[in-house]
Amino acid sequence: MDLKFLDADPTDAERASVDGLLGAPSSAWEGAQLRTAADLRMVRGGRSMREQRHMLLPALARLQSDIGWVSEGGLNYVCRRLWVPPAEAYGVASFYALLSTEERPSTVIHACDDVGCRDFGSADLIAGLEAEIGPEGVANGDRMWLTSPCLGQCDRAPAAFLQNAGRSDSVVTNASTQSTLKAIASHPVPPADPATPQVSGDRGSLRVLSRVGLVNPVSLEDYLAHGGYATLESVLSDDPSLVVDEVKRSNLRGRGGAAFPTGIKWEGVAAQPDGPKYLVCNADESEPGTFKDRVVMESDPYALLEAMTYAAFAIGAHEAYIYVRGEYPVATARLATAITQAKEANLLGRNVLGTGFHLDIGLRRGQGAYICGEETALFNSIEGYRGEPRQKPPFPTTHGLFGRPTVINNVETLVNVVDIVTNGGEAFASRGTPDSTGTRLFCLSGHVGQPGVYEHEFGVTVRQVIDAAGGAIGDVQAVLLGGAAGSFITEEHFDVPLTFEDTRSAGISLGSGVVMIFNETVNLTDIGRRIAQFFRDESCGQCVPCRVGTVRVEEALARHLNNGHEAVDASLIEEIDRAMKDASICGLGHTAATAVRSLLDQGLIGGPA
Amino acid sequence: MWGSNARNAHPIFFHHILKGIHNGAKLYVVDPRRSETAEWADLWLGLDVGTDIPLASAIGRVIIEKGLANQAFIDHSTENFEAYRRSVDEWTLEKAEAVTGVPAVAIEELAVAYASAGSAQLCWTLGITEHHNATDNVLALINLSLLTGHVGRYGSGLVPVRGQNNVQGGGDMGALPNKLPGFQDVADDSLRGKFEAEWGYPVPAENGWHLTQMFEAMEHGDLKALYVIGENPAQSEADVGRARSLLESLDFMVVQDLFMTATAELADVVFPAAADWCESEGTVTSSERRVQRVRRALDPPGSAKTDIEIISLLAGALGHGWGTPTAEEVWDECRRVSPMHAGMSYRRLEELGGIQWPCYDEDHPGELFLHSRLWEEPVGGPLAPFTPVEHSPPVDLLDADFPLRMTTGRRLDGYNTGVQSGGFDSPIRIGASIDLSPEDAADLGVSDGETVRVASRRGGIEAPVRVDDGLRPGLVFMAIHNPDDADVNQLTIEEWDAKSGTAEFKATAVSISRLG
């Protein structure tokens, strides 16, 4: 394997942490402290060792979570256990924001200063943390604080995420300095209250959120009592192609942003020759302003498992993964509980309900990388590599996870499948418009009466969505539609029907369903610069247009902010945007300047002061 | 891979192995050391040096006992199976584990995997052949291939991996004491007659001497003059102190080489030669019998000349006017007398990117693999014989004075005696060292980098210690690339295999002591 390890040794605690995940090492060649006579006469290795690479990120995350950082000795021990070169493991460890290769105190507070919190309390929180703890990034005793990109809690801004070494991580919402410091002191850490979804109008019209807020999310029994898994046995006893047909009939399109027809994707993977196939649920919800998948996972986790069972059955997969955002500890815990209970009830595992179908669902926790929401970057992340996107083609339907045919869908897309399978594709398609069937989840935040997740049929307008959430607060300057990768819209677009086709022809994007309202009190130049900073931070750096372009966009806005009498060099940003759209490997680069350009193009920012 | 650290010694070949591994092939490595090759293995078996025959016999016994032998192939294509079966019967897993040190479970696993594989290759190099019983070691592996039918079929076979780009070509061209070009027997009157007719000159009917016999002949005074082409015996021979004094005792020695080697230093006349791979025209033949063209890209420096020019000039000086033949003319002469090369014109070699012998005429595409005749109905030619072999431990015995087993080998950035590689810097160059297990280093109280004295029954040298966890207690290792710094062949034993003439470089009894 040409492996050259470091000389650094793990501490006993680090060794115990890694062994807690991987089990005890089987020989000195896997890091055991003593060489036995047998070790010097035979070693099993090769493929069986190399195929453990996918445990690299979980092992590093385990060290981070137990010890508080990934030391050289800890990293080296993980490498010995998994036969991964330390240089590569370091490349992985240093890729993720939640993993630290430098020593950190036992509590690290990540205080959101992103667009959803920035004008909604985070300045006070950060000033308070600075006063109590000291400057950003400097340890003070057992704690330090850092600013963070969006934590997906925009309906309850401001938010902080706490990494607690040796204890579970936690989230503080509607955070004040005092409530945040109090959360550090609590033993054990209290779980954050899951968000209650906001429902406007008739609850009976809900499809995706129908059980949210009603069902007990840690009780399989309660899910069953609410009609969960009602059709599972009959579906699994029939032909898998019937599920694909039903999903095609529904004309369900992906909710992750690309709006690809789900049934076509499934059909493509189902048609691949036999051999391992995978189903992956993209729950790495990191688009600033987005929190709908979190609400579904926290409040109705079994629905996701049920949907994934149908999807896996339809495509012939027996292994599935949920890749859940690292900053979502409650959702992670709820899904873990749900998987355990579903296994015990034989709704997962070998021979599900005696139908002969097998399915295991693995839960993987992201470690703070927006780019891992890109499907091929997510595969690399699961496989134990840096979360860098791959060139496409080949597409996941033929070369996905572990190079095998893979269906990857996000949480919202999958949960729709429960409704489709239970009530039929035709009923599903009767809602919305012919090209945008069904309902859509919207994440309302900012200057709005009642922030939260709302479910509306496709075709609703921005004005209606805002009104349903209690109306805007103050005079609306602009609405960020679709997230940081989306665009700012004004009055002119408030009556565009929100469908895939209408938004496309209006030159705007539904994205991940973000509707973030900014009133006259907000400095949009500052918001634009924060978005530019976000993409500069989150660019994986693999391809030059994005790595360089995101820096240049932020610089152009920073110059304007620092030196307000000069106009923003809009033509420079336009040129960079074109280069990133043309030449970036993935969607991050393609959309990194879209929101900033929408501000400039509409004259919302950029003129001389 | 048996007795082969191809990851280091055959790095390009090993890239192809890695492709196979990537495509799902399983790799088993038999080697006393957990070498860089062993690190890639699905299973490594760390046998004691010189116990290859017990291991192979135990594998054979498991295959027979479990009913995994390819009985149809044995019945159809082989002979002497009964004798083989009796010969391996004593090698129970228990006994094999006791003698080889390899756990029974590993032996059994390899046996089952080899016998059950749809196709399987058995590759080996000097770990098999640099022993006093080299030929028997090879026969033990051949027996396994006959037992399972892993020979003469696409994807299955026996692969002795060559150490240089043209070792195979050297043998093909008759650089052997008993063969004319194309492996044609010197003693065969009609074959020899063909060459005599082509050359217009009689060819001696007796076998010549191989290298080891030449040194014995020097010792007896029967060999007084030597013409050495591209070889460095003053550093590469086992028990090299003796070899060097014998070379010095010659009446006359000519050395033809690219470099002023240690052997050239002893010569009366040195012919500076052009490099074959870039300053000459001609062909080379790789391990897979593929004859390929090499072309002159550079003019040779100074007065250096190609081997063909030097030999032709020498012939002229000895009174034979050979003129100035081109490489292609020499090759075409070879094609006229060697049937297996007959179809390989320069034009075809160029068009096809090389051809694998045998290639009998210009319509023949060459052969991807050998021995397919064994699968013909009926078998084309003689049946393949099983050859029972006996275990014979290394000659240089371990005892209280010399308690450590030293074996030798190569590193990735070094090449043989270092003539071609020692002059270049390498970022991974380790230099001379005596490699020890961590346990032995601790027992001896020596640390990494400390210079120690290494002694065998033949001599002693000094070398710095390098601790290598691929070694186990009692097993030490030296690379062969640094004769100027640590002359490892002062230690090795000149005990050789009577059938192949190879010395037992791989098994030396040594002691290690601290200096001062």
Chain segment A7-36, per-residue pLDDT in tens? 999 999 999 999 999 999 999 999 999 999
- Give the phi and the psi of residue B509 in degrees, each rounded to 5: -90, 125
Residue B95's pLDDT is what? 98
β-strand partners of B124: B2, B160
Residue A442's pLDDT band (boundaries 50, 70, 90)? very high
Token pair recorded at residue A397: 């339907």
Instruction: Indicate whether B215 pLDDT > 90.
Output: yes
Residue A466's pLDDT band (boundaries 50, 70, 90)? very high
Percent of chain B with pLDDT over 70: 100
Rounded (10°) CA dihedral A300, A301, A302, A304: 100
Chain A partners within 8 Å of B40 (Cβ) = 1, 45-46
Chain A partners within 8 Å of B438 (Cβ) = 35
On whether the CB atoms of residues A328 and A364 are closer than 8 A, the answer is: no
Residue A200's pLDDT is what? 64
Q: Is A1 on the interface with B (CB under 8 A)?
A: yes
Length of chain A equals: 609
Pick the residue of A6, A36, A40, A402 with the most B CBs within 10 A to test the interface with B by mutation.
A40
Residue A411's pLDDT is what? 98
Chain A partners within 8 Å of B106 (Cβ) = 41-42
- Give the phi and the psi of residue B81 in degrees, each rounded to 5: -65, -40
Helix axes B104-116, B93-100, angle to 10 degrees: 110
Which of A2, A38, A45 lies at the smallest CB-CB distance from B42? A45
Instruction: Residue A23: count other Cβ atoms within 10 Å of its Cβ.
Output: 10
The residue of chain B with its CA nearest to that of A2 is B36
Report the alpha-carbon distance of residue A321 to residue A401 in Å, rounded.
10
Instruction: Indicate whether A186 pLDDT > 90.
Output: no
On whether the CB atoms of residues A401 and A411 are closer than 8 A, the answer is: no
Chain B partners within 8 Å of A6 (Cβ) = none
Which of A2, A29, A41 lies at the smallest CB-CB distance from B101? A41
Chain A partners within 8 Å of B42 (Cβ) = 44-48
Residue B414's pLDDT band (boundaries 50, 70, 90)? confident
On whether the CB atoms of residues B392 and B90 are closer than 8 A, the answer is: no
Which residues of chain B approach chain A closer than 8 Å at the C-beta? 7, 21, 26-27, 34, 36, 38-46, 101-103, 105-106, 437-439, 469, 472-473
Residue A215's pLDDT is what? 92
Length of chain B equals: 516
Which of A38, A40, A45 lies at the smallest CB-CB distance from B41? A45
Q: Is A271 on the interface with B (CB under 8 A)?
A: no
Q: Is A47 on the interface with B (CB under 8 A)?
A: yes
The pLDDT tens digits of the residues spanning A39-66 come to: 999 999 988 998 999 999 999 999 999 9
The separation between the first and the last C-alpha atoms of chain A, rounded to the nearest angstrom, is: 61
Which of B39, B43, B469 lies at the smallest CB-CB distance from A1? B39
Instruction: State the burial class of residue A4 (Cβ atoms within 10 Å of its Cβ: 0-12, 13-18, 19+).
Output: exposed
Which of B34, B36, B437 lies at the smallest CB-CB distance from A43? B34
Residue A151: which H helix or E strand, with range? none
Residue B278's pLDDT is what? 94
- Average of per-residue pLDDT across B97-106: 98
Report the alpha-carbon distance of residue A126 to residue A146 in Å, rounded.
9
Q: What's CA B479's distance to the chain center, in Å?
A: 16
Q: How far is B106 from chain A (nearest CA, A)?
A: 7
Instruction: Indicate whether A180 pLDDT > 60.
Output: yes
- Average of per-residue pLDDT across B74-96: 98
Instruction: Residue B13: count other Cβ atoms within 10 Å of its Cβ.
Output: 19
Instruction: State the burial class of residue A499 (Cβ atoms within 10 Å of its Cβ: 0-12, 13-18, 19+).
Output: buried
Q: How far is B320 from chain A (nearest CA, A)?
A: 55
Q: How far is A269 from chain B (nearest CA, A)?
A: 22
- Average of per-residue pLDDT across B152-174: 92
Chain A partners within 8 Å of B437 (Cβ) = 40
Strands B384-385 vs B78-79: parallel, antiparallel or unpaired: parallel
The pLDDT tens digits of the residues spanning A557-601 come to: 999 998 877 888 999 999 999 999 999 999 999 999 999 999 999
- Average of per-residue pLDDT across A354-365: 97
Mean pLDDT score of chain A: 95
Chain B partners within 8 Å of A29 (Cβ) = 34
Pick the residue of B7, B8, B26, B34 with the most A CBs within 10 A to test the interface with A by mutation.
B34
Residue B374 vs residues A346, A472, B77, B115: alpha-carbon distances, Å: 55, 87, 5, 18
Q: How far is B141 from chain A (nearest CA, A)?
A: 20
Report the alpha-carbon distance of residue A112 to residue A23 in Å, rounded.
36
Instruction: Residue A601: count other Cβ atoms within 10 Å of its Cβ.
Output: 14
B40 contacts A46? CB cut-off 8 A = yes
Instruction: Indicate whether A609 pLDDT > 60.
Output: no
Q: How far is B16 from chain A (nearest CA, A)?
A: 15
Which of A2, A28, A43 lies at the smallest CB-CB distance from B44? A43
Residue A213's pLDDT is what? 87
The pLDDT tens digits of the residues spanning A266-301 come to: 999 999 998 899 999 999 999 999 999 999 999 999
Give the residue, B484 or A268, on which the prediction is more confident.
Answer: A268
Which of A1, A28, A40 lies at the smallest CB-CB distance from B40? A1
Chain B partners within 8 Å of A52 (Cβ) = none
Residue A355's pLDDT is what? 95
On whether the CB atoms of residues B509 and B405 are closer than 8 A, the answer is: yes
A46 contacts B41? CB cut-off 8 A = yes
Instruction: State the burial class of residue A37 (Cβ atoms within 10 Å of its Cβ: 0-12, 13-18, 19+).
Output: exposed
3-class secondary structure, A222:
helix
β-strand partners of B45: A42, B30
On whether the CB atoms of residues A57 and A381 are closer than 8 A, the answer is: yes
B472 contacts A46? CB cut-off 8 A = no
Report the alpha-carbon distance of residue B456 to residue B403 in Å, rounded.
10
Residue A199's pLDDT is what? 65
Q: How far is B288 from chain A (nearest CA, A)?
A: 25
Pick the residue of A41, A48, A50, A51 with the most B CBs within 10 A to test the interface with B by mutation.
A41
Instruction: Indicate whether A444 pLDDT > 60.
Output: yes
The residue of chain A with its CA nearest to that of B475 is A40
Instruction: Indicate whether B240 pLDDT > 90.
Output: no
Instruction: Indicate whether A194 pLDDT > 70.
Output: no
Q: What is the pTM of this model?
A: 0.89
Q: How far is B242 from chain A (nearest CA, A)?
A: 36
Residue A462's pLDDT band (boundaries 50, 70, 90)? very high
Residue B162's pLDDT band (boundaries 50, 70, 90)? confident
Report the alpha-carbon distance of residue A74 to residue A60 in Å, rounded.
8
**Residues in CB range of B379: below 8 A, 6 or more apart:** B76, B77, B373
Residue A193's pLDDT band (boundaries 50, 70, 90)? low
A40 contacts B103? CB cut-off 8 A = no
Token pair recorded at residue A311: 């999807």
Instruction: For tokens 């210690």, name the residue.
Output: B465
Instruction: Indicate whether B497 pLDDT > 90.
Output: no
Residue A2's pLDDT is what? 81
Report the alpha-carbon distance of residue A117 to residue B214 in Å, rounded.
89
The answer for A 128-187 residues in CB contact with B (under 8 A) is none
Instruction: State the burial class of residue A102 (Cβ atoms within 10 Å of its Cβ: 0-12, 13-18, 19+).
Output: exposed
Burial pattern A425-445, b for ≥16 Cβ within 10 A else e, equals beebbebbbeebbbbbbbbbb
Q: Is A48 on the interface with B (CB under 8 A)?
A: yes
Q: Which of B211-215, B253-257, B409-413 has the highest mean pLDDT?
A: B253-257
Residue B484's pLDDT is what? 84
Instruction: For tokens 């500052």, name the residue.
Output: A526
A44 contacts B45? CB cut-off 8 A = no
- Average of per-residue pLDDT across B396-402: 96
Chain A partners within 8 Å of B472 (Cβ) = 40-41
Q: How far is A337 from chain B (nearest CA, A)?
A: 37
Q: How far is B329 from chain A (nearest CA, A)?
A: 46
Q: Is A32 on the interface with B (CB under 8 A)?
A: no
Report the alpha-carbon distance of residue B502 to residue B491 in Å, rounded.
16
Helix axes A594-601, A524-538, angle to 10 degrees: 160
The strand order across the sheet containing A160-164 reads A143-148, A107-112, A160-164, A170-172
A40 contacts B472? CB cut-off 8 A = yes
Which one-letter DSSP state was computed for residue A193?
Answer: P
On whether the CB atoms of residues A305 and A346 are closer than 8 A, the answer is: no
B38 contacts A43? CB cut-off 8 A = yes
Mean pLDDT score of chain B: 94
Sign, CA dihedral B99-B105-B108-B109, equals: negative
Size of interface A-B (CB pairs under 8 A): 56
